[in-house]
């Protein structure tokens, strides 16, 4: 898809529903594939990343079908009964699929090769290779511990206690998933709490899992040689996708938008907390629990935002939402300071440098730090926008969507060099944006 210019928008009005949560979608396919029997999944995010997980699980022996009404039906093969894949597992652009799948297979007697696109092949895998090697799996990776890589699973694997050196839900999940087929108890110590979808959903599928605390750190213990039971999963809307509309409605004057069915898991919904601290008008309607996950409809109305110092402790609960938060900060009154974001430098792109360049090109005042950004807001005035130049997204879906949102309240519009990557996480983004702005 070629470049696209996002211009000053009419108020965003009405109701919309964002796609299913990506983290929960990946896990529902994997865990259903490990259960014995038939699971049904509704609300699955049908983006390219999640479809890569579905394709990989099929190669490992799970039977997965999409029904006409959008429900996915999975007949699982059981923990310990995965088949050796006949060809390389192509993970596309998905770091989550790769790291979780490496964990899943590490305690099975099989070998597997993982490949991915150019962006994924530059992302670090040593963070999962290290603990999985301690459990007995062996790896032949490309230089720097990247894809393509080949793995020999260990059978039986050795249970370990692993203290996470970096706050990463993917590394935690990889170790817990390896523990499913490992005799004994595998433990993960988490100095900083990260998203807990794996723990919630594994418990739902019948795994024996204990979460406790030692010396102020979270400890998760999983009992191996688990028998997972099938279950029906309802996937809540992805807070990472909702974030773009929360910010868009906050900065476009006259907006009054309801985003339905948004997952508000406290380990994920940091963006809502931070936007409220900045003065955003966000109301939670019909709060409820669906499949162990807290959910609500969010009503957001245009409101003046004020710059704040974002607490670095909230970073793990909104790590993917910082690009769009930077946009909100560009329109706020005063200075916003975001630090503790080193992890953003190893995402689909270096999101600190790329967003600094993109926002500067659109007329924002940005100072780049080693671990974050300082942004001087316009006080609600439109950004200039980009004239005669397009913003470089570096094939990163979240950069593309964040700068699209920036364009909605700009004078000259913001041209994004390529909107195709948006399909990896939010295939209906353009359509929903257009619909909300054109609601009579």
Query: How far does Cα 225 stand from its chain's mean position?
Result: 29
347 is in an annotated binding site: yes
**Residue 99 annotated as binding site:** no
Q: CB of 408 within 8 A of CB of 9?
A: yes
Distance CA 23, CA 282 (A): 24
Q: In the numeric block, which tokens belong to residue 10?
A: 């009419």
Give the chain's length: 440
Q: Is 23 annotated as a binding residue?
A: yes
Element at 6 (helix H, strand E): strand 4-6
C-alpha 407/C-alpha 215 separation (Å) is 47
**Look-up of token digits 């993109």:** 358
119 annotated among ligand-binding-site residues? no
95 is in an annotated binding site: yes
Catalytic sites, residue numbers: 320
Q: Dig out the tokens for 219 from the structure.
A: 């400890």
If DSSP states are collapsed to H, E and C, what string results for 365-403? EEEEECCEEEEECCCCCCECCCCCCCECCCCCHHHHHHH
Q: Is residue 309 annotated as involved in ligand binding?
A: no
Q: How far apart are CA 301 and CA 402, in angstroms?
A: 19
Q: Reply yes or no: is the peptide bond before residue 353 cis, omega within 30 of 0.
A: no
Tell me the chain's radius of gyration from C-alpha atoms.
Answer: 21
The reply to whether 123 sits in an annotated binding site is: yes
**Alpha helices for 135-184 (secondary structure H):** 169-180
- Helix (H) / strand (E) element for 361: namely helix 351-361
> Which of 382, 376, 421, 418 lies closest to 398 in space, CA to CA?
421
Report the C-alpha gap between 24 and 100 in whole angstroms. Answer: 12
Q: How far is CA 210 from the centre of its chain?
A: 24
Q: Is 170 marked as binding a ligand?
A: yes
Residues annotated in a binding site for phosphoenolpyruvate: 22, 95, 123, 170, 351, 398
Residues annotated in a binding site for 3-phosphoshikimate: 22-23, 27, 168, 170, 320, 347
Residues annotated in a binding site: 22-23, 27, 95, 123, 168, 170, 320, 347, 351, 398
């Amino acid at each position: 898809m070629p470049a696209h210019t996002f211009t000053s928008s009419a108020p965003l009005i009405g109701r919309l529903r964002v796609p299913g949560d990506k983290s929960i979608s990946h896990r529902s396919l994997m865990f259903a594939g490990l259960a014995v029997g038939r699971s049904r999944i509704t609300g699955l995010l049908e983006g390219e990343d999640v479809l890569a997980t579905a394709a990989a699980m099929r190669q490992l022996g799970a039977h997965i079908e999409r029904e006409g009404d959008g429900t996915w039906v999975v007949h699982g093969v059981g923990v310990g009964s995965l088949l050796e894949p006949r060809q390389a597992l192509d993970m596309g652009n998905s770091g989550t699929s790769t790291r979780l799948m490496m964990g899943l297979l590490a305690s099975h007697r099989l070998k597997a090769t993982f490949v991915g696109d150019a962006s994924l092949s530059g992302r670090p895998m040593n963070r999962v290779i290290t603990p999985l090697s301690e459990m007995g799996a062996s790896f032949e990776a490309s230089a720097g511990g990247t894809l393509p890589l080949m793995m020999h699973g260990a059978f039986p694997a050795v249970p370990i206690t692993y203290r996470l050196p970096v706050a990463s839900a993917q590394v935690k999940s990889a170790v817990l998933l390896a523990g499913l087929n490992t005799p004994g108890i595998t433990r993960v110590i988490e100095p900083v709490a990260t998203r807990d979808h794996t723990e919630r959903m594994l418990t739902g599928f019948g795994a024996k899992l204990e979460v406790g605390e030692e010396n102020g750190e979270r400890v998760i213990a999983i009992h191996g040689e688990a028998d997972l039971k099938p279950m029906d999963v309802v996937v809540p809307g992805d807070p990472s996708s909702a974030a773009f509309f929360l910010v868009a409605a906050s900065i476009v004057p006259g907006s009054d938008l309801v985003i339905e069915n948004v997952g508000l898991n406290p380990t994920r919904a940091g963006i809502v907390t931070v936007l409220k601290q900045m003065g955003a008008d966000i109301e939670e309607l019909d709060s409820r629990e669906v499949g162990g996950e807290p959910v609500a409809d969010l009503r957001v109305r245009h409101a003046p935002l004020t710059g704040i110092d974002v607490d670095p402790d909230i970073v793990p609960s909104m790590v993917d939402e910082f690009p769009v938060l930077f946009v909100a900060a560009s329109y706020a009154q005063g200075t916003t300071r975001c630090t503790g974001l080193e992890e953003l430098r190893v995402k689909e792109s270096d999101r600190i440098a790329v967003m600094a360049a993109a926002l500067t090109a659109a007329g924002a005042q940005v100072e780049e730090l080693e671990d974050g950004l300082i942004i001087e807001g316009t006080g609600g005035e439109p950004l200039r926008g980009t004239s005669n130049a397009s913003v470089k997204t570096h094939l990163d879906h979240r950069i593309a969507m964040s700068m699209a949102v920036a364009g909605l309240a700009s004078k000259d519009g913001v041209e994004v060099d390529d909107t195709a990557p948006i399909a990896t996480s939010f295939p209906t983004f353009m359509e929903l944006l257009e619909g909300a702005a054109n609601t009579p």
